[in-house]
Structure 1
Amino acid sequence: MKQDQDLRMIIASHETELTDMERDIAHYFLSSEARQHSLSSSRVTKLLHVSKAALTRFSQKCGFTGYREFVYHFNEEAKEQQHEEEHDDLTLSVLQRYHHVSNVTENFVKDPQLEHVADLIDQADRVYYFGIGSSSLVAREMKVRLMRLGVAGKAVTDQDGFTWTTSILDSSCLVIGFSLSGKTSAITDSLVKAKENGAKTVLVTANPACVHHDFTEVVPAAPLPSNTYIDRISAVLPLLIVVDLIYTHFLSKNRDEKETVFNRYWENKKLSNQRSRKS
């Protein structure tokens, strides 16, 4: 394998030979995330939920003798690109904060907890997502993504909605609240009322130490890496990373069934758009 060949082109030239699992592996190595962490086979297999044999087969299909040679090529290319791609201080400051959030999240989150939240979603008849202010965007995002996998639910983003929704909850329901500070009383108080009515409750927050309620789960997110409000990156970023992690664990449960629902959703949406254009 020539070391001057572009890895993206190498993978593209072998794409038709790859299985769906191997395409997931390819997608990871073509993402920026792969350039920020250790690429040891043990770490990558755990992260992607694949076997070492799958990494070897993927590497060989791309023309390498094995995973070790593939990673060597990957690292050499990353070094060259690092020298070529120089940014000014403003761009670097934002990118560094993004990297910080990613790294802190990696240290905070626990796989068993993510798995438990995924189980709670799987077992609930209906899921409600509570968020206010910027967190309301996260609540809506999670609702839409899980809806496409067949999860019935609603994003609730105002005080009147919290009051009405908590009054109709029972043990078949799950409420997921988002509060980066952990001090948004509209969210925490609503989760307390939801719990009193028998619902399971999950709070995603960057400040779990200040949460003194016995919710079903309190999932930690990374705090924003800035001393001043005006310099902060988007407040939704740490919460959205946690949403992605929960989504991935949920998707892994009966994935074939969820992919069928997902594909059916987009087929119906496409048909609906076609009818709208005709009318």
Structure 2
Amino acid sequence: MDSVYHQIQKNYDALSSTEQIIIDYMLNQPNVKNLKMKLIQNDLHVSAPTIVRAIKKLSYPSFTEFKYAIANTQGPANQIDSEENYETMIETFSSDFSKTIHMMEEEKLYAIANSILQSHRVFCIGMGSSVSVVNSFNRKLKNLGLWSNDYTEAAPFRDIADIATNNDCLLIFSLSGKEEQILEIAVKSKLKNVTVISITGFSNNPLQSLSDISLLTYQTPQKRKKLRSRLMLSVAAEVIFETVLLKKEGEKDDT
């Protein structure tokens, strides 16, 4: 069977919002092997059949098999309460990188690459500490000769709704997927049939629900809430760009 994180990425969109919350909850448990279904029921106020249904949508036949699949991927980096030091930081990055890469679904990556290459214009969007990811990705698309612009502040976001058409696409990098300004432009763009592509952290978030194509990255839960690493967004951006290059080279070979 594919990696548990690949299975989640592949089937996450098919889950209801409640089912997504259940899966998020299980992934955020530092000792998931000892997790009891009753605890999930009490904490999330959901029924046992709802939990099982969510897990079966990910192609796992039982609660026990799914939690052991998660547990088998957990290492020292999942000990969230351990003392922070250089070694644990590197272990966390290594673990998150591995999980994020395993979550990358080839079909979805090629769908994103196709949208970028076929769009008349690409609007690269992000705020806060995601700005560096957006700026870098935008420069790479420009170097390929594509029409691309980066939008990293709330005021210019409003211009997108006026100029974007159904021949364009929005490429949004947002770890939380919850910034109000970004959600507003996503809604307005959807009303104009603009393709919305989002790259977010792994969570039940409204941006993912609004997107035509959503790519999830994994990040170990951290005590810090305001200064969270965007490294996995950068990893996803690199994988997307390399897929764009593969697709573009493939088109050259066909001509």
Tell whether the structures are fold-level matches, with TM greater than 0.5.
yes
In the alignment, what sits opposite 2:145?
150
User: Which of 140, 153, 168 is the aligned partner of 2:135?
Assistant: 140
Q: Which has the higher contact order (CA 8 A, sep 6+)?
A: 2
Give the TM-score, by structure 1 length: 0.56
Distance in structure 2 (CA, Å) of the matches to 1:146 and 1:237? 20
Distance in structure 1 (CA, Å) of the matches to 2:138 and 2:224? 31
For structure 1, the 5+ residue unaligned runs are: 1-88, 259-279
Residues 21-63 of structure 1: CA deviation (Å, up to 9, x unaligned): xxxxxxxxxxxxxxxxxxxxxxxxxxxxxxxxxxxxxxxxxxx
Matched letter for residue 112 of structure 2: V
| Displacement after TM superposition at 1:94 (Å) | 2.0
Distance in structure 2 (CA, Å) of the matches to 1:208 and 1:116? 21
- 1:141 aligned counterpart, secondary structure: helix
Q: Does 2:188 match 1:199?
A: no
Contact 2:160 2:185 in 1 (8 A): no
| Displacement after TM superposition at 1:160 (Å) | 1.1
Distance in structure 2 (CA, Å) of the matches to 1:100 and 1:90? 15
Distance in structure 2 (CA, Å) of the matches to 1:130 and 1:256? 27
Contact 2:167 2:194 in 1 (8 A): yes
Which structure's CA Rg is the greater one? 1
Worse-matched range after superposition: 204-213 or 148-157:
204-213
In the alignment, what sits opposite 1:247?
241
1:19-168 → structure 2 map (5 Å cutoff): 90-168=85-163
In the alignment, what sits opposite 1:227?
223
- How many pairs were matched up? 168
In the alignment, what sits opposite 1:33?
none
Contact 1:207 1:223 in 2 (8 A): yes
- 2:111 aligned counterpart, secondary structure: helix
For structure 2, the 5+ residue unaligned runs are: 1-83
Distance in structure 1 (CA, Å) of the matches to 2:186 and 2:220? 24
Give the TM-score, by structure 2 length: 0.61
- 2:214 aligned counterpart, secondary structure: strand
Matched letter for residue 251 of structure 1: L
User: Which of 213, 216, 231 is the aligned partner of 2:212?
Assistant: 216
Distance in structure 2 (CA, Å) of the matches to 1:184 and 1:257? 36
Contact 1:174 1:201 in 2 (8 A): yes
In the alignment, what sits opposite 1:172?
167
Contact 1:206 1:223 in 2 (8 A): yes
In the alignment, what sits opposite 2:232?
238
Contact 2:196 2:210 in 1 (8 A): no
Distance in structure 1 (CA, Å) of the matches to 2:219 and 2:183? 18
Name the CA shift for 1:121/1:239 in 2 (closer, same or farther; >3 Å): same
Name the CA shift for 1:208/1:216 in 2 (closer, same or farther; >3 Å): farther
| Displacement after TM superposition at 1:225 (Å) | 4.2
Percentage identity across paired residues of the two chains: 22
Residues 218-277 of structure 1: CA deviation (Å, up to 9, x unaligned): 1101124423348x6x6220101110110111000232888xxxxxxxxxxxxxxxxxxx
Contact 2:138 2:150 in 1 (8 A): yes
Distance in structure 1 (CA, Å) of the matches to 2:224 and 2:158? 33
Matched letter for residue 166 of structure 1: A
Contact 1:167 1:197 in 2 (8 A): no
Contact 1:118 1:249 in 2 (8 A): yes
Q: CA RMSD in A?
A: 2.1
Contact 1:178 1:205 in 2 (8 A): yes
Distance in structure 2 (CA, Å) of the matches to 1:257 and 1:135? 31
